[in-house]
Amino acid sequence: MWIYEKKLQYPVNIKQKDLQMAKFLLAQYGGPDGELSAGLRYLTQRYTMPTGKSKALLTDIGTEELAHVEIIATMVHQLVRDASPEELRKAGLGGYYTQHDHALYWSDANGVPWTASYVQSQGDPIADLHEDLAAEQKARATYERLMSLTDDPDVIDPLRFLRQREVIHFQRFGEALDDVQFNLNSPKYY
């Protein structure tokens, strides 16, 4: 199955508290277009892909998205570490603190809890791959907006890495779409 190394895919070492940024980052933690949704989407869709190449790609990218969840969780944790209840309240995280203290919880930047309805699996490989392409573009756009909300290089650096991975995933899903369409359009001889 997998070998798990007890280190992040990309290092995170945030030195300054930034509760607003932590709140914004929740979009990629438990939001509809966030890393958890992407990972679960791809790991579910892989079962109905018609080629070994497309199944493997969805497995690989889905697994990587779970590593991205870990990066985002680490960033949020480091940004709120040692924040007082009053600081959290002033940052608009009072309700979050009330229910979860400093623990991480699957919600988006507006406090809306994550739901399985964010994840779609049609069983149609063409439709699913098009959805995956769109998901990667939405994640890329979100990372770009997140980077514009901070000037902290310790926050921007891992966000830049994550944004670039979304670009690579988009390219790989495009290749998978070509592979699947070629396979589906090839004459079958029995």
Catalytic residue among 5, 86, 169, 175: 169
Q: Tell me whether residue 68 is one of the annotated catalytic residues.
A: yes
Nearby residues of 85 by Cβ (< 8 Å), 6 or more positions away:
94, 97
Q: Tell me which of 64, 68, 130, 144 is the catalytic residue.
A: 68
Determine whether 65 is an active site residue.
yes
Out of 65, 70, 102, 144, the active site residue is 65
Find all residues with CB under 8 Å of 186, minimum gap 6, and list them. Answer: none
**Cα–Cα distance for residue pair 147/75, rounded to 1 Å:** 13
Active-site hit among 86, 130, 166, 175: 166
Catalytic residue among 5, 35, 70, 102: 35
49: tokens are: 């892909």
Widest Cα–Cα separation across the chain:
71
Catalytic residue among 64, 70, 77, 136: 136
For residue 189, what are its two tokens?
């001889």
In the annotation, is 169 catalytic? Answer: yes
Q: What per-residue string of b and e applies to 156-176 under the rule 16 or more CB within 10 Å gives b?
A: bbbbebbbebbeebbebbeeb
Q: Burial-class residue 132 by CB neighbours within 10 Å (0-12, 13-18, 19+).
A: buried
The Cα–Cα gap between 50 and 133 comes to: 18
* Residues with catalytic roles: 35, 65, 68, 136, 166, 169
